[in-house]
């Protein structure tokens, strides 16, 4: 596989969302390519760091503020002219 394709696949690969054959192909490339292996290691460390962050307290008004900031819903079906 080419590096560009590997880099596109890394997030899915890190989440173990691959078949055995796909994973073997990515592992083979990572074993040969220092640049892609370095990117894999960086992504893996980032995911581990994010997973270990403590939960964050969010004010009760947060959801309402976000919902007010969103654009209004468009009607379903949207008939054209």
pLDDT score recorded for residue 32: 95
Q: What is the pTM of this model?
A: 0.64
Q: Could you read off the pLDDT of 25-73 as tens digits, one per residue?
A: 999 999 999 999 999 999 999 999 999 999 888 888 998 899 899 988 8
pLDDT score recorded for residue 79: 55
Tokens matching residue 26: 């990515």
pLDDT score recorded for residue 80: 54
User: Taking phi first (over 0 means left), then psi (-120 to 50 degrees means alpha), and beta for anything else, what does residue 22 get?
Assistant: alpha
Domain enclosing residue 46, as ranges: 3-52
Residue 23 maps to a domain:
yes
Can you spell out the DSSP letters for 56-73? Answer: ----TTHHHHHHHHSPPP
Q: What distance lies between CA 59 and its chain's CA centroid?
A: 26
User: What value, to the nearest 5°, has the Cα angle with vertex 49 and ends 51 and 5?
Assistant: 90
Q: For the chain, what is the domain count? A: 1
Residue 47 maps to a domain:
yes
Residue 70 maps to a domain:
no
pLDDT, mean of residues 6-32? 90
pLDDT score recorded for residue 20: 86
């Amino acid at each position: 596989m080419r590096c560009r394709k590997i880099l596109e696949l890394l997030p899915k690969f890190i989440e173990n969302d691959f078949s055995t054959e796909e994973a073997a192909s990515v592992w083979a490339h990572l074993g040969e390519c220092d640049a892609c292996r370095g990117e894999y290691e960086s992504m893996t460390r980032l995911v581990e760091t994010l997973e270990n962050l403590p939960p964050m307290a969010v004010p009760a008004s947060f959801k309402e503020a976000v919902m007010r900031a969103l654009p209004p819903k468009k009607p379903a079906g949207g008939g054209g002219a």
